[in-house]
Amino acid sequence: MKISTITFIIPCFNESETLPEMYKRLSSLTDKFTNFQFEFLFINDGSSDSTEEILKNFAKSDKRVRCLHFAKNHGHQIALSAGIDFANGDLIVAIDADLQDPPELLKEMIDKVYEGYDVIHAQRRNRSGETWFKLFTAKLFYWFIKRFSTQELIENCGDFRAFTRPVLEVARRFRERHKFLRGNFVLYGFRQCVIQYDRDSRFAGTTKYPFKKMVRFATDAVINFSTLPIRIVIFISFLLLMLSFVYLIRSLILHFVFHVTIPGWTSLIVLITLFASLQLFCFAIIGAYVGRIYEQVQNRPLYWIKDVQNISLDDASAISPCIQEIIISRNIVNSKCNIVNEESTK
Ligand code: UDP
Ligand code: MG
């Protein structure tokens, strides 16, 4: 495969402390690869610190820096998806902004592409500088997914990965709201491989994945790739139905054959509580799926953008097949409308 342009997709949420260093590392790295053109696609995920100004300054002096600014925080996975929509490269590298993922791994990634691979997952050999809580929740996360999700996952692989243009085209077509990209990329197929790296600690700032977000992420991982929870519910309900049937027969025999009055009260209460709580549990699981269906049929845009830098009008065409995303920037909204109209008249 021939590579002429390489895109780095960098989601940023309140990363003002790490961005100058990140940019420096990226620039000095890419200076060594004179055969390729580069594009640094920063997605500002509704940051409230000075991330926006910093990115604008980079973009002013360096045309390789291209920025999308979300109007609000949409989350890391959606930020990455926007990156996927707007990337122009033949090889795309998704990387965190906090320098936990060394951009220098690019060399190995390129080698793997030349060997014929299309998806190159970067796997953490170790995770230095992370709190025991983060390590524990990460372990719990992988345990949970292994147990409950049907989608195969590569352990200790986050969202640091490289992929080729054909994979990008496929990734763009997956428009689910609750994304779990590390599962999706395994699902896409093509030729995949894993390379290992040592994960550094965060260059500055704190994690933007607090426990609450991790729990939400793990739920997405299970529900997106499996109907197992629903099947478990069906199994439990069936089992309980059988048990209650046996209990019914027992009560009838006791009443009509042996004429013993059943003291009953305790067992009644126990049964009512058991069944009521189980019913609630079943409803909650089914509700989780129904909720997703509801959100999906609402068909809201995955994200909306309040400002861009160094993004040309043509780039908007990348997202036109899905017509879901909104760019609220006066100079490109017209072009987007044209694209939409063109499509609808086809
Ligand atoms: N991030 C984002 N939106 C969010 C949360 C995180 O764009 O709502 C970005 C963040 O700026 C970073 C990357 O996603 O570049 C990974 O986040 P973080 O380093 O906080 O996660 P961790 O490494 O602790 O799992
Ligand atoms: Mg990090």
The H or E element spanning position 8 is strand 5-12
100 pLDDT higher than 80: yes
Please give the number of the atom of ligand 1 that sits closest to the Cα of 45: 7
Count H helices and E strands in the chain, helices first.
Answer: 11, 9
Report CA(263)–ligand 2 centroid distance (Å).
61
Q: Which ligand lies nearest the alpha carbon of 209?
A: 1
Q: Ligand 1 center to residue 90 CA distance, Å?
A: 25
Q: Taking a C-beta distance cutoff of 8 angstroms, is the pair 120, 163 a contact?
A: yes
Q: What is the Cα–Cα distance from 42 to 45, expressed in whole angstroms? A: 9
Q: What percent of the chain has pLDDT over 90?
A: 38
According to the 3-state scheme, what is the secondary structure of 285-320?
Answer: HHHHHHHHHHHHHHCCCCCEEEEEECCCHHHHHHHC
How many Cα atoms occupy the beta-carbon half-sphere of 342 within 13 Å?
9
Range with the lowest mean pLDDT among 33-37, 80-84, 134-138, 160-164? 134-138
96 CA: nearest ligand 1 atom: 15
**227 CA distance to ligand 2 middle (Å):** 30
**Closest approach atom of ligand 1 to CA 73:** 8
Q: What is the pLDDT of residues 54-74, one digit of tens each?
A: 999 999 999 999 999 998 999
Ligand 1 atom with minimal separation from the 13 CA? 11
For ligand 1, atom 19, the nearest C-alpha belongs to 207
Q: Answer whether residue 323 shows pLDDT above 70.
A: no
Cα–Cα distance list, 239 to 13, 245, 278 (Å): 47, 10, 12
Whether residue 280 is predicted with pLDDT greater than 80 in this model: the reply is: no
pLDDT top residue among 133 and 114: 114
Compute the distance between CA of residue 45 and CA of residue 72 in angstroms, rounded to an integer: 7
Q: Whose CA is nearest to atom 23 of ligand 1?
A: 207
Q: What distance in angstroms lies between residue 100's CA and the mean position of ligand 2's atoms?
A: 6
Tell me which residue has its CA closest to atom 22 in ligand 1.
207
- Contact call for residues 200 and 100 (beta carbons, < 8 A): yes
Mean predicted lDDT score pLDDT of the chain: 82
- Please list every protein residue whose CB sits less than 6 Å from any atom of ligand 1: 11-13, 15, 45, 73, 75-76, 79, 96-98, 100, 207-209
Q: What is the DSSP letter of 146?
A: H
Task: Examine the pLDDT at 330 and tell me if it is beyond 70.
Answer: no
Mutational pocket test of ligand 1: of 13, 69, 99, the residue with most ligand atoms within 8 Å of the beta carbon? 13
Q: What's residue 23's pLDDT?
A: 95
pTM: 0.77
